[in-house]
Amino acid sequence: MSGQWFLFSVDLLALFGIYLALNLSLRLQLGYTGIANFGLVLAFTGGAYVGGWLPIRLGMWLVEVDPSLADDMIWNNVIIASQVDLSLHGSPGTAMTILLITLLAAGAAGALLGLQSGYPAVRLGGDYLAISLLAFGEVLAIIGNNYDPVVGGPLGVRIPDVWAWAGDWRFMAASLANCALALGVWLYLDSIEKSPMGRMLRAIRDNPDAASSLGKNVARVRLNVMVTGGIICGLAGAMYTLYTTGVAPSALSRFDWTFLPWVMVVFGGSGSNVGVLIGTFTFILVQKLIISYKFALSFLPFDPVWLQFLLMGLVLILVLNFRPSGLVTEKASYALSRREMAKAAGKESL
Amino acid sequence: MHGAMLEVRDVKKSFGGLKAVDGVSISLPRGRITLLIGPNGSGKTTLVNSITGFLRPDSGHVYLEDKEITHWPMHRICKEGMVRSFQLPAPFGGLSVLGNLLVACESACGESLLKCPLKALWKTTEKDNVREAFAMAEAMELTPYWDAVMSETSTGHIKLAEIGRALLAGAKLVILDEPICGVDPVMADEVFSFLIRLRDEQGLTFLVIEHRLDIALKYADYVYVMNQGKLIAQGSVEEVLNDSQVKEVYLGS
Amino acid sequence: MASFIDALTYSALLGLMGFGLTLIRRTTGVWNVAHGEVVTIGSYVALTATSFLAHSPYFYLPLAFLVCAGVSGIIFLAGVEPIRAKGASSILLLVVTIAISLIMIAVINIYADYLQNVFHLSSKNFLFARFDFTLLGQMGILWAAWAALAALTISYYLVLQHTRLGLALRALAEQPTLAVVMGANVKSLSLLSWCLAGGAAGLAGCLFPMRFQCHPGVGTSMIATMFAVSIFGGIEKMYGPLLAGLVLGFAQIYGIDLLSSWVGPGVIPFKDLIPMIVLLLTLQFLPEGLSGFVGRRRG
Ligand SMILES: Nc1ncnc2c1ncn2[C@@H]1O[C@H](COP(=O)(O)OP(=O)(O)OP(=O)(O)O)[C@@H](O)[C@H]1O
Ligand SMILES: [Mg+2]
């Protein structure tokens, strides 16, 4: 395998992990609970900002850095980051401590943002909820782009590389870590599927009034789901920042981190993990290929990036017309296995 | 009237200028099947909606076992022991028939986002729930269809599954809004016989709205009649049937 | 004073943009996310026409109206209606308009790249302020924007009150089933309202570069603000966007100027937060919007 292909695959894997986690969070909210969260970017941005703000400060505190640099964290950003990098090279322990604390904080930020946006939103119905979440999603972008102390304004900041200790395997390690996050979310969603939780969420999705008449606190459950979804998005945002070792508010767009996940999830099918995986992989691959083969398309009198938008829109329209539930459809499932159910019901078999 | 299961005092509910429920008071004795009848649009459903927290009544009070529950949200009222079914089909379309029944069963750990991954915490409860749900499916003659997806099930079966759902929610007072609408007559009689059995064996209280009087009156202990948002008669089946106002409303004479 | 006039101009443009969103939502129950791109197309019609055919952009207002009405009509017929006919939920319809918006973003950007690469036009950043005339000491855009908004709103009400078409439109918005019973052709009425909405967006887009910088993402970046105008104005009345446009336009330009003279210039970049905050407060406390509230007060 040539070096270029190796880098291509590793970067693909890294993005895949991030997007899969984010998309599974959308599946939890949309597919299970029927919450049309058009503000995914909010909690993701929150996590990314934590990733841009915290590690460099933790780094300064944990390793030797010229303290006078702290006078202007934004101005001296690159110097501090590279000084911290130098020490992290030799100390995976410190690096992983920074990673863990950052993830904790990002999860907390995501939870808070989920709560914040969910609290007024869960009482609204249908498309009003969607619009209010869309508006919420813009808020952090506006703040981050205009208020430099958060993460340095539109151009952003560089952060220390917590994967520096892996040396040549740095990109591989970070990519695998992203995939590990996705795997964790996958397993969590799978356990929801195979527990009474899954059917309750679907009941709330299918008929909130009937669910409420049967004693389910619909607003509370929806809020809990939004908080959980927010945590996942926050973690994904932080992992993304740690992978790219930088964050730029202007790059955290509604398109990349709300609409693109929606396209992937609607395409693959919000009713199943496998569907979400297929949708995620397909679009990441297409996106990477278009970017990599940009030069081959340079004869076009426009930027080939727009082909990606065109393709996504067309695919989405086709899917909505001919297969509105996505490629992989939802299957009714039970918390217990058929054998366990048969035994409980006192029957030979079902 | 101390000790009634449900006590409704002077409940009013208007939609714009329309007084859908205009000062209705009813009282449901424990362990009885009470029937609520009246012509289309007389306000029966609106009354039920107002006392179960689905709608906010404009005024009036509702007491469940002497505890005031006016303006409580529906889920809390259900936990307090009163459950209702809906007149129009309200299935959980993406779940199977059994899934619909299971939703009504309580599973504190299984329905928590934190605890649900730990199967050991909810497995025993779930087994009990599955047993109860299958028993209910049997009683509603839904066993052959237990695994069918609700959105692809016939209206009659949906109705039966919804009755079963309401009965599984563990309430002391069950309100059924036109439960046998769209159910074949033989099965309709069986549904009511089942309610009688639950009344006698478990002491449950029922309030049933029904238009099919030929079937429903046979099983009623007490009857309320509504017309144009007001109660016009109440009493035993004979008393109500001989009431001149009721005759007028139903026979138009 | 300058910022007062700016606010007044901006208000009218916001009103024009919100007008279409409200109309579409009222008559067909869809929140059209692609409406922002329709506005952008209006701006590019102005750019193309003025660059290749000379004349002032005002001259091309009718053209922008027609092109955008056509685009909006096509969006409805080709994108929304087939899926709506299958009984899709309002969320799914919202996703449809997002898909359309992605396609339009691509087309607009490809077109802008093409203009720049082949004709060397500055198509990624343009402003026509130099073309503007003055009337009574004010920029023409002020008068033009208000004339367009007032003409649309008033003629909408005239049509609504005095013609059969208006009656059918009202029935469609308030009682779709009744509209069917009345024998109204729901599909062509819906198409008409989408076209009208697109036309209004086209006017806004064509006028926008007279005073404000335009780029391929101009409408896209304003869509959340447009939703704020539409929802804050209230979707029950078609004068809602006009009211909300005024309030938000003033808050965003004049209000922030006032605020910065008290608090300091640090608040200016946050002017874009105002529509979001207003939108969220509206959804929470005034779900029927300004016009609904005003209407309720009057009885
Ligand atoms: N949500 C609502 N908004 C406006 N009017 C309503 C609403 N719900 C019911 N109504 C009106 O209130 C009146 C009473 O309706 P309700 O459904 O309670 O009658 P009902 O006795 O249950 O009739 P049916 O036997 O047909 O079910 C009717 O005129 C109905 O049109
Ligand atoms: Mg009724």
Domain ranges of chain B: 4-251
The listed range with the strongest mean pLDDT (C99-113, C132-146, C176-190, C262-276) is C99-113
Give, for B36, the enclosing helix (H) or strand (E). strand B33-37
Q: By alpha-carbon position, which residue is closest to atom 31 of ligand 1?
A: B41
Residue B101 has pLDDT above 90, yes or no: yes
Percentage of chain B exceeding pLDDT 90? 63
> Which amino acid does the sequence have at A157?
V
Query: What value does the mean pLDDT take over residues C153-173?
Result: 75
Phi, psi of B146 (to 5 degrees): -55, -30
**On the CB side of A232, how many CA atoms lie within 13 Å of its CA?**
29
Nearest CA to ligand 1 atom 9: B46
Residue C103 has its nearest CB partner, among A121, A266, A310, at A310
Check which CATH number belongs to the domain holding C291 and give it: 1.10.3470
Indicate whether A297 belongs to any domain: no
Domain total for chain A? 1
CB spacing of A332 vs B73 below 8 angstroms: no
pLDDT at A225 (0 to 100): 96
Q: Is the distance from CB of A192 to CB of A32 less than 8 angstroms?
A: yes
Residue C12, chain A, CB below 8 Å: the answer is: no
Which spans in chain A are helix H? 3-26, 40-62, 77-89, 92-121, 126-146, 148-151, 170-193, 196-206, 208-213, 218-244, 254, 260-268, 273-292, 305-322, 338-345
- DSSP designation for A35: -
What's the rounded Cα separation, in Å, for the pair A272 and C206?
45
Average pLDDT score, chain B:
90
Residue A127, pLDDT score: 78
> Locate tokens 């009344």: which residue?
B199
Average confidence score pLDDT of chain A: 88
B79/B64 Cα distance (integer angstroms): 12
Taking residue A288's Cβ as centre, other Cβ atoms within 10 Å add up to 16
For all residues of chain C together, what is the average pLDDT? 84
What percent of chain A shows pLDDT beyond 90? 45
Facing C270 at nearest CB: one of A121, A142, A259: A142
Q: Which residues pair with C31 in a beta bridge?
A: none
Chains C and B in direct contact, meaning 3 or more beta-carbon pairs closer than 8 angstroms:
no
The ligand 1 atom at the shortest distance from the C-alpha of residue B226 is 21
pLDDT in tens, C96-147: 999 999 999 999 999 999 888 888 888 888 887 777 677 676 777 778 778 8
Distance from CA of A91 to the nearest CA of C (A): 41
Comparing CA positions, the residue from C159, C184, C162, C158 lying closest to residue C171 is C184
Helix, strand or coil, per DSSP, at residue B37 = strand
Half-sphere exposure of A283 (CA within 13 A, CB side): 29
The tokens describing C158, both together, are: 């005239």
Give the SS3 label for residue B182.
coil
Give residue-wise pLDDT tens across range A195-224: 999 999 999 999 999 999 999 999 999 999
Does residue B3 register a pLDDT over 80?
no
A151 DSSP 8-state letter: H
Backbone angles phi, psi at B230, to 5 degrees: -125, 155
Question: Is C298 a residue whose pLDDT tops 60?
Answer: no
| B19: β partners | B14
Which residue range(s) make up the domain with A107?
2-253
CB-CB neighbors (< 8 A) of A133 in chain C: none
- Residue A230's pLDDT is 96
Q: What is the tens place of the pLDDT at every residue in B185-223?
A: 888 898 899 899 889 988 899 999 998 888 889 899 999
> Which of A265, A310, A314, A322 is the best mutation test for C, with the most CBs of C within 10 A?
A310
Residues paired with residue B59 on neighbouring β-strands, in sequence order: B12
> CB–CB of B20/B229 below 8 Å?
yes
Mutate to test the interface with C, among A320, A322, A325 (most CBs of C within 10 A): A320
- The answer to whether C83 contacts A324, with C-beta atoms less than 8 Å apart, is yes
User: Under an 8 A CB cutoff, do A195 and B110 touch?
Assistant: yes
Residue type, C28: T
pLDDT at B97 over 60: yes
Q: Which of A319-328, C117-126, C279-288 has the highest mean pLDDT?
A: A319-328
**Does the residue A321 lie in any domain?**
no
Q: Is the pLDDT of residue B1 over 50?
A: no
How many Cα atoms within 13 Å fall on the side-chain side of residue C76? Answer: 29
Among C34-43, C93-102, C270-279, the least confident range: C270-279
Question: What is the CA(B82)–ligand 1 centre distance, in A?
Answer: 22
| Per-residue confidence (pLDDT) for residue C53, from 0 to 100 | 86
Q: What percent of chain A has pLDDT over 70?
A: 99
In the DSSP assignment, the letter for residue A40 is H
CA C291/CA B46 separation, integer angstroms: 30
* pLDDT in the model for residue C299: 42
Q: How many angstroms separate the alpha carbon of residue A248 from the centre of ligand 2?
A: 57
Q: Tell me the per-residue pLDDT of A11-42, one tens digit each, with 9 for 90 and over.
A: 899 999 999 999 999 999 999 999 999 999 99
**Which residues lie below 8 Å from residue B36, measured CB to CB, with a gap of 6+?**
B26, B44, B47, B48, B207, B208, B209, B223, B224, B225, B226
What is the model's pLDDT at position B204?
A: 92
User: Domain containing C289: what range?
Assistant: 2-298
Tokens of C112: 């802008």
DSSP assignments along chain C, one per residue: -HHHHHHHHHHHHHHHHHHHHHHHHHHH----TTHHHHHHHHHHHHHHHHHHH-S-GGGGHHHHHHHHHHHHHHIIIIIIHHHHHTT--HHHHHHHHHHHHHHHHHHHHHHHHHHHHHH---TTSB--GGG--EETTEEHHHHHHHHHHHHHHHHHHHHHHHSHHHHHHHHHHH-HHHHHHTT--HHHHHHHHHHHHHHHHHHHHHHGGGTS-B-TTHHHHHHHHHHHHHHHH-TT-TTHHHHHHHHHHIIIIIIHHHHHHHH-GGGGGGGGHHHHHHHHHHHHH-TTHHHHHHHHHT-
Q: What local confidence, expressed as pLDDT, does residue C184 receive?
A: 61
Residue B2, pLDDT > 60, answer: no
Contact flag A320-C83 (C-beta cutoff 8 Å): yes
pLDDT of residue C177: 67
Site residues for ligand 1, CB cut-off 6 Å: B 15, 18, 20, 38, 40-46, 87
Residue C183 structure tokens: 């024998």
Nearest to C224 among A120, A135, A266 (CB): A135
Among partner residues B79, B122, B162, which is closest to A196 by beta-carbon distance?
B122
Question: Confidence class of residue C179 from pLDDT cuts 50, 70 and 90?
Answer: low
d(CA B187, CA B169): 22
pLDDT tens profile C229-250: 988 888 777 788 888 888 888 8
Q: CB–CB of C173/C255 below 8 Å? A: no
Give the helix/strand (H/E) hosting B84: strand B82-84
User: Considering Cα of C125, then C131, then C135, then C140, what sign does the dihedral take?
Assistant: negative
Best mutation target among B130, B167, B173 (most A Cβ atoms within 10 Å) is B130
A-facing residues of B in 117-176 (CB < 8 A) are 117, 119, 122-123, 126-131, 134, 146-147, 149, 162, 165-166, 169
Q: Ligand 1 center to residue A61 CA distance, Å? A: 68
Instruction: Report whether pLDDT(C293) > 50.
Output: yes
Class of domain B4-251: alpha beta
What are the tens digits of pLDDT across the range B58-96?
A: 999 999 998 999 999 999 999 999 999 999 999 999 999
